[in-house]
Chains A and B, each alone.
Chain A
Amino acid sequence: MKKIILRGRKVVGGCAEGEALVTKESISGWGGVNPMTGTIIEVRHELHGQSFKDKVLVFPGAKGSSGWSGIFQSARLAGAAPKAMIFNVMTTKMALGAVVTRAPAVTDLDQDPLEVIETGDWVKVDGDNGIVEVTKRE
């Protein structure tokens, strides 16, 4: 099986693995996600209707309301958080959201994760060392 290793930097430590859910569109937290189910509810979003619960969420970054972190914290408390997060653009919403989600998170990867990773790939995230291991779906 084809494996790809990406290297970046730690945002939140810890290790986790799961199936990737990839979007090239930034995600709105408050008003864009139902925290009880982890479902994207933003009307024109390409992931509209899909849930990130237990997935490795791969996305450009956070947008929209400052309620972003609160929504992801609620998703954690409701058991609907992603297993790990991989993103490109660092913002305060993104950093704080990642911290309170308490799932491994990495950014600043040496290859664009949005190009390398596809929905359905199996992804291991080592937050402490900033390493992402991607096993392409057969």
Chain B
Amino acid sequence: MRLTDEEKAMLDGRDGRAVQKAMELLVKYGEALGAERLAETNNVSTTAIIGGRFMQEYAAKYGYDAVFSQFNLDSDEVVEIPRVKTNSCQLIAGFDPDHWQTQGVSRERVELNKDHEAYLGDIGVQLMSTCTPYQVGNVPVKGEICAWMESSAVVYINSVLGARTNCEGRESTGAAMLTGRIPYWGYHLDENRLGTDLIEVEWDVESMMDWGLLGYYVGEAVIDRVPVLNGIRKVPNSYRIKHFGAAAASSGGVEMYHIPGITAEARTIEEAFGKKKPQNTFKFGKAERLKAYENLNVSAKDTHVDFIMLGCPHASIEQIWEICKLLKGKRINSGTNLWIFTPRAIRQLADRNGYTKIISDAGGVLMSDTCPAIGQMLPPGTKVVATDSAKQAHYLPAIMGVQTWFGSLEDCIHAAVTGKWSGELR
């Protein structure tokens, strides 16, 4: 890999041992990729906060610099972590500091987390604590080279906004924060952003549920290639398109897609493919929609529902209001829990709008910072979950071993109120 003089100086230790370790990792990673050089970046979304038990024990034993060294730089040697060089933010985290008791988190962990957040704030990591930084102030500009983690955010900023990131990991974003560099590869390059597969959408996709089904189908069809959607007649709003990308990134590894006339980089089908021809053409019609629905509900059998999860990816304020309109004046079933997840900054707005109160009056809880899949937490005794998120329905059965129903927001609120699942594909 070709390095600039500045990068060579970092690799030689000019800026200290941590930056040197970061550069060493970037070189190994870049060479593994087959990248020719590094790119400059000033926008990093990362996971730096201490996660599960394994890391908590590691932190207690060796300290925060050791956690960053091992888990964010892949360095066995403990190096002193300096202030980060880039605009950097923390993605979704393990629990909500305001609802830790409800989430079954120990006081010890809450204290550790508070202390660790202070450490991260001090080195310059913004504690956004959401899978959707683009909803709360980190909105990359078209063409901006970024180093982001979180598959649902990566696909959003690449496709909807036209920013340029690959799906980075904990260690590469750690190294990027300290150096302002990331391997120049993949979706940084024009030619890799062009469409590869054509999806002929023959179903009239409009609802949030349909956007999730379409995304889940597309991800399974194209895996990690670049789908181009033809036949979308109605412009989706931000939460529908957020749901689509998250679903496609869960069933497959979609990091970039085009909806000509709607997403950032293609006005027409021709522009989406450039000089390339589609490698494959897939059809999304009635049968494909049904198959996606069945696949998402493959784990679910019991209609008695214990827990309703909404807000994956983290809910927008518009989604919270839609939930409130359905919930207002109702009371959720005594044996059922309803948790709704949103970024902390949006919860403050929800508090101010009176939405948090509508939800709590109905017996639900508006939470921030985390989600059940990331936090690996469910209300005690949960066996059957219902959600309006294709991504959460994909992951919860695997991670938590629970049955999970996927359906519309209306189906989920109905289940919350009655304790019974009666959703179906309409």
Contacts and interface: CB of A to CB of B under 8 A. Distances in A.
Interface string A13-37: 0000000000000100001100010
Contacts of A70: 47, 71, 169-171
Nearest to A97: B169
Contacts of A69: 169-172
Nearest to A105: B32
A62 B34 CA distance: 17
Contacts of B276: none
Contacts of B150: 65-66
A99 B399 CA distance: 25
Contact of B29 (A32, A42, A65, A95): A95
Given A31-B399, A64-B151, 6 more contacts: A43-B398, A67-B170, A73-B71, A74-B54, A90-B33, A91-B186
B68 to A, nearest CB: 13
A134 to B, nearest CB: 23
Contacts of A90: 33-34
Interface stretch (B249-257, B278-286, B303-311, B415-423): B249-257
A14 to B, nearest CB: 12
Nearest to A89: B224
Interface in B47-66: 47, 54
Q: Is the interface of A mostly helix, strand, loop or mixed?
A: mixed
A63 B224 contact: yes
21 contacts: A12-B28, A26-B224, A31-B395, A31-B399, A32-B398, A36-B54, A41-B399, A43-B398, A63-B253, A64-B249, A66-B154, A68-B169, A69-B169, A73-B71, A91-B253, A92-B167, A92-B183, A93-B253, A95-B33, A97-B169, A99-B32
A47 interface: no
B295 interface: yes
Closest 8 CB pairs of A and B: A69-B169, A63-B253, A66-B149, A95-B32, A92-B166, A31-B395, A95-B33, A70-B170
B193 to A, nearest CB: 14
A86 interface: no
A11 interface: yes
B169 A66 contact: yes
B25 interface: yes
Contact of B298 (A43, A73, A97): A43
Contact of A99 (B25, B186, B224): B25
B373 interface: yes
B158 interface: no
A93 B398 CA distance: 20
Contacts of A41: 398-399
Nearest to A61: B224
A67 B91 CA distance: 12
Nearest to A12: B32
Nearest to A41: B398
Nearest to B54: A74
Contacts of A96: 29, 32, 168-169, 171-172
Contacts of A9: 34
Contacts of A68: 169
A126 to B, nearest CB: 16
Contacts of A6: none
A44 interface: yes
A92 B168 contact: yes
Contact of B373 (A31, A63, A95): A31
A84 interface: no
Contacts of A43: 298-299, 397-398
Contact of B167 (A31, A44, A66, A105): A66
A61 B29 CA distance: 16
A100 interface: yes
A103 B252 CA distance: 25
Contacts of A62: 253
